[in-house]
């Protein structure tokens, strides 16, 4: 749950793409499926260990979650729940304001939640750093990149932004191009690149990409099993 990009495709539509980096020991995720939470239909892959997710699509919102807040923290378990449940909890609320007002952020490990509101194409950033919740609205007309603070230090996060900025200046904002970037960008570095395979036991296991358009789609690339899946909402 460690690299996220947002690209505005036109005045209404966008791409939200995420690389999932996980420990070798973690169970293999279930591919995305369409489920219902209350009256809301959602597409998301499932983490088999905690039964949560790191990315999801509904008619109203697209969400991605990264482990860690502004800076790397010291983990202090036990925590009351997996961070993978936060996205599923979010869909129980009608608005971002409702979520911020009513959600109980106590005893949850730091995270960064990116929520894109479809109707207005508003990009919401919610960061829990220790016990402090920070919220801001990002410009939905501009590209954005997030890298997990738990895996990448500030210098590396800035270097990744440099490569992302090069991409946004030279490539059309299409799903094919952003998927290629998420798999090939900065590829010469297996420790800090967009696809990683670290000796400490962490590697990139999948790439997910939401294309919000008149008929929204969810593309899932399982890097472990070399499989692709495309679902329509």
Asked whether 69 and 230 are in contact (CB, 8 A), the reply is no
* Structural domain for 49, as ranges: 3-232
What residue ranges in the chain does DSSP mark as E strands? 3-8, 14-23, 30-37, 40-46, 55-57, 61-67, 111-117, 122-129, 132-138, 144-147, 197-198, 202-212, 217-222, 227-232
Q: How many domains are contained in the chain?
A: 1
- Residue 198, pLDDT > 60, answer yes
Distance of CA 104 to the CA centre of its chain: 21
- Give residue 196's pLDDT: 79
- Give residue 3's pLDDT: 92
What distance in Å separates the CA atoms of residue 110 and residue 98, rounded to the nearest whole number? 20
For the beta carbon of residue 171, count every other beta carbon within 10 angstroms. 14
DSSP output for 46-90: E-TTTS--SEEE-SSEEEEEEES-SS--------SS-GGGHHHHH
- Residue 187, pLDDT > 80, answer no
What distance in Å separates the CA atoms of residue 108 and residue 172, rounded to the nearest whole number? 38
Of the pLDDT bands very low, low, confident and very high (cuts 50, 70, 90), residue 60 is very high
Asked whether 146 and 70 are in contact (CB, 8 A), the reply is no
- Give residue 127's pLDDT: 97
Q: What is the mean pLDDT of residues 71-90?
A: 86
- Residue 197, pLDDT > 60, answer yes
DSSP output for 203-214: EEEEEEEEEESS
Contacts of 23 (CB under 8 A, 6+ apart): 201, 202
What is the torsional sign of CA 186, 189, 192, 195? positive
- Give residue 166's pLDDT: 93
Contacts of 155 (CB under 8 A, 6+ apart): none
- Give residue 202's pLDDT: 84
- Residue 186, pLDDT > 70, answer no
pTM: 0.94
Q: What is the mean pLDDT of residues 19-26?
A: 81
**Mean model confidence pLDDT for the chain:** 91
- Give residue 146's pLDDT: 97
Q: What is the mean pLDDT of residues 154-159?
A: 90
Token output for 154: 């500030």
- Residue 134, pLDDT > 70, answer yes
Of the pLDDT bands very low, low, confident and very high (cuts 50, 70, 90), residue 76 is confident
For residue 192, what is the domain's CATH number? Answer: 3.60.60.10
């Amino acid at each position: 749950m460690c690299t996220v990009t947002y690209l505005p495709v036109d005045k209404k539509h966008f791409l939200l793409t995420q690389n999932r980096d996980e420990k070798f020991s973690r169970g293999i995720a279930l591919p995305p499926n369409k489920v219902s939470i209350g009256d809301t239909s959602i597409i998301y892959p499932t983490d088999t260990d905690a039964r949560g997710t790191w990315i999801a699509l509904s008619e109203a919102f697209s969400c991605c979650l990264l482990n860690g807040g502004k800076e790397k923290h010291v983990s202090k378990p036990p925590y009351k729940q997996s961070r993978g449940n936060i996205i599923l909890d979010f869909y129980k609320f009608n608005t971002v304001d409702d979520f911020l007002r009513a959600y109980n952020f106590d005893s949850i490990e730091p995270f960064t939640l990116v929520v894109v509101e479809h109707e207005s194409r508003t990009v919401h950033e919610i960061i829990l750093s220790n016990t402090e919740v920070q919220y801001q609205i990002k410009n939905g007309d501009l590209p954005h990149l997030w890298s997990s603070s738990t895996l990448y230090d500030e210098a590396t996060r800035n270097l990744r932004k440099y490569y992302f900025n090069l991409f946004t200046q030279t490539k059309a904002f299409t799903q094919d191009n952003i998927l290629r970037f998420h798999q090939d960008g900065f590829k010469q570095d297996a420790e800090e690149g967009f696809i990683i395979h670290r000796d400490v036991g962490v590697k990139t296991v999948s790439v997910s990409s939401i294309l919000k358009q008149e008929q929204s789609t969810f593309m899932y690339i399982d890097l472990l099993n070399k499989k692709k899946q495309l679902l329509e909402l």
